[in-house]
Amino acid sequence: MAEAEGDQVQVSTFEPPVDFARDAHVGSFEQYEELHRRSLEEPESFWREITDQFVWTKPWTKLREWNLPFTRWFVDGELNITVNCLDRHVENGLGDKIAFHWEGEPGDTRTVSFRELLEDTCRFANGLKSLGLQSGDRVVIYMPMIPELPVAMLACARLGLVHSVIFGGFSSDAIRDRVQDASARAIITADGGWRRGKVIPLKDNVDGALTDDECPSVEHVVVYERCKNEIEMADGRDIWWNDLIEGQPADCEPESVPAEHPLYILYTSGTTGKPKGVVHAQGGYLIQTALTSKWIFDLKPDDIYWCTADIGWVTGHSYIVYGILANATTGVMYEGAPDYPAPDRFWEIVDKYNVTVFYTAPTAIRAFIKWGDEWPEKHDLSSLRLLGTVGEPINPDVWLWYRRVIGGGSCPIVDTWWQTETGGILITPIPGAITTKPGSATLPFPGVDADVVDESGNPVAPNERGLLVIKRPWPSMIRGIYKDGWGQPGHEGEFGDRDRFFDQYFKRIEGVYLAGDAARRDNDGYFWIIGRVDDVLNVAGHRIGTAEVESCLVQHPAVAEAAVIGFPDEITGEAVAAFVTLRGSFEESSELQAELVNFVGERIGRFVRPKLLRFTPALPKTRSGKIMRRLLREIATSGKVVGDTTTLEDMAAVAALQGIDEEE
Ligand code: PRX
């Protein structure tokens, strides 16, 4: 450890440990620099070397196309991602290797080998085929963290079906929106999932989304029995998972698809009330998630890797399922909460399976710190050799605690920056090559041309805040925002909602991908991610748009108008605050306050429930009618407005809000 000068603050730096670097896939800074240079200057040979390590039914001859806003990679190649995640490992003698050590919350466990995962995938794929589903059809998956979730995803991919996984924490309204937008023909779900000793009623939530024939595209609902809770099965529509696979053979010919064939749609929050369906393509996504997994997590044949994310988010898609399986790595998969039945549940699992690489979110680490060092100290964590974080900025003191208490003072930490849209990690330390600084995601991965620029697209000076942009496409880049007809006959050459896609990412600074994050680079060129510059919140690493919560609140009969903002929270990073004006006949009360908080929880999902909900006679607006969110943020954070109010239309709104606070 050394003290480095030069930044605004003095920061510690940590060089890659010598013995770690010696055995690493990328073992020196010079090697990293050379890879990064080659990837940008000689992309054809760089990517050819990488893609030659995979199984293609038809090798590519054309590397990429870039017709703003659309990119295509390995353009004329054909493959199937599941062959690369499963079949080739079994053929290479790794059939008995464990793909997943699975831990259920109530303490049940299972191990699944690569051969079993392949056979389960094939059986289920044959089941899906028997329902008449065909390549290109969309299938929604809404499941708990059980091995059948990756099986369902892989079975879809094997047939060229486009899966859309919905996080199990979302409720009926969120499911309905996504099912409708994707025109899904089938939903794969379970009777329930376990969370802190209780059953999450997944099938009931699906039924709630499908009531009154609101999702006419849905022909089939496949239900896995996990909790044996009571559910209803609709005749002719619903079928048990076990009945579907009954008698199905354990092999299934993989559909060879063009590299650009859509693999999945994952809905994520933007600045409008309607989530965006981010589309990823089979080829580029496979290559990038596999390569980033290998180099960033430095995966070796004996590693036991655990990513604690839920597969319902992009982190789980890329770094529990596709990227990790592509490396034939043994993963751990856990169904429940980190503090159930006790706050050492994670450390018990690390100890039990001798986890070597551990990947989690800063919000979880902040909770561990709060619960106390005695919980990790009860367990032997010496198997760990590498730690990772994702999803939010990590405060340097939290980073240092993670390294000292979980990493035994010696594990390198990779703080990985990326997004649903990027498909894979783009800015990150490579642990054997790049010296880390707590709180910095450090440098771009090979193939990534990142910068921090001003509104005109010019790079800002070192240590100055600007907008994070990526200046050329990368293989796992978002292919577009899903719109009905994508890839279907009659829609050739159309890739979803072009205007929304262009406006969202390529308009503000034309020609480059705008990430939506503010960042700065220090004197060494290291990236420090500051946070979102748009109305997207990051609550416990979960992304949610303020407009989504607002449009939910105004659906309640008592609510006339709602403004939602994020404010700092010690554990979750950001928390949701809602400011609400009521319709004439409704009166403010603590019951109504609780009802509105629950309303959001029930409609969208518990994790979005406002931590603070205030009634106000009026919202502070500019003379042009725009809600002044900055003032609301100041009120939520400190109870006071300190900034400039000259553009405010009516000072009374702010006075009233401050008055409410003073009374409390
Ligand atoms: O603000 C950044 C933050 O998470 C956003 C992307 O969220 P999502 O699409 O849900 O994907 C999260 C998991 C990949 C980004 O725009 N973010 C992600 N990783 C980091 C981060 N902020 C700071 N540091 C990170 N390492």
322-376 per-position pLDDT tens digit? 999 999 999 999 999 999 999 999 999 999 999 999 999 999 999 999 999 999 9
Pocket of ligand 1 contains residue 51 by CB under 6 Å = no
Measure 319 CA to ligand 1 centroid, in angstroms.
14
Pocket of ligand 1 contains residue 441 by CB under 6 Å = yes
Measure 192 CA to ligand 1 centroid, in angstroms.
29
Q: pTM score, two decimals?
A: 0.94
Q: What is the DSSP string of 337-401?
A: -TTSSSTTHHHHHHHHHT--EEEE-HHHHHHHHHH-THHHHTS--TT--EEEEESS---HHHHHH
Mutate to test the pocket of ligand 1, among 543, 544, 572, 607 (most ligand atoms within 8 A of CB): 543
How buried is 577 (Cβ within 10 angstroms: 0-12 exposed, 13-18 middle, 19+ buried)? Answer: buried
Pocket of ligand 1 contains residue 428 by CB under 6 Å = no
Q: What is the DSSP string of 401-444?
A: HIIIIISTTT--EEEEB--GGG-S--B---TTT--B-TT--BSB
Which distant-in-sequence residues (6+ apart) come within 8 Å of 520 by Cβ? 452, 460, 462, 463, 464, 465, 466, 527, 528, 530
Pocket of ligand 1 contains residue 318 by CB under 6 Å = no
Residue (of 390, 439, 446) closest to 419 by Cα position:
390
What pLDDT is recorded for position 620?
Answer: 86
What pLDDT is recorded for position 372?
Answer: 96
What pLDDT is recorded for position 662?
Answer: 39
User: Tokens for 511?
Assistant: 């020609």
Helix axes 172-182, 202-210, angle to 10 degrees: 60
Mutate to test the pocket of ligand 1, among 392, 415, 445, 452 (most ligand atoms within 8 A of CB): 392
What pLDDT is recorded for position 636?
Answer: 87
Residue 360: how many CB atoms within 10 A of its CB? Answer: 23
Dist. CA 451–CA 466, nearest whole Å? 9
Measure 419 CA to ligand 1 centroid, in angstroms.
5
Per-residue CA distances from 236 to 223, 240, 460, 576 (Å): 13, 12, 61, 41
What pLDDT is recorded for position 487?
Answer: 72
What pLDDT is recorded for position 659?
Answer: 64
Pocket of ligand 1 contains residue 116 by CB under 6 Å = no
Beta bridge partners of 103: 109, 334
Measure 391 CA to ligand 1 centroid, in angstroms.
4
Mutate to test the pocket of ligand 1, among 359, 390, 477 (most ligand atoms within 8 A of CB): 390
Dist. CA 137–CA 187, nearest whole Å? 11
Report the chain (664 residues): mean pLDDT per 10 consecutive residues: 46 94 98 98 98 98 95 97 98 98 92 98 98 97 98 98 97 95 98 94 97 95 97 97 98 98 95 90 98 98 98 98 98 95 96 98 95 97 98 95 97 98 98 98 98 97 97 98 85 85 94 96 97 91 91 93 93 94 93 97 93 91 83 85 71 71 38
Helices of type H across 239-354: 241-245, 282-296, 314-316, 323-326, 345-353
Pocket of ligand 1 contains residue 315 by CB under 6 Å = yes
What pLDDT is recorded for position 10?
Answer: 60
Dist. CA 97–CA 90, nearest whole Å? 9
pLDDT per residue as tens digits for the range 98-155: 999 999 987 899 999 999 999 999 999 999 999 999 999 999 999 999 999 999 999 9
Residue (of 310, 375, 334, 380) closest to 543 by Cα position:
310
Residue nearest to atom 11 of ligand 1 (CA): 419
User: Tokens for 174?
Assistant: 């969120």
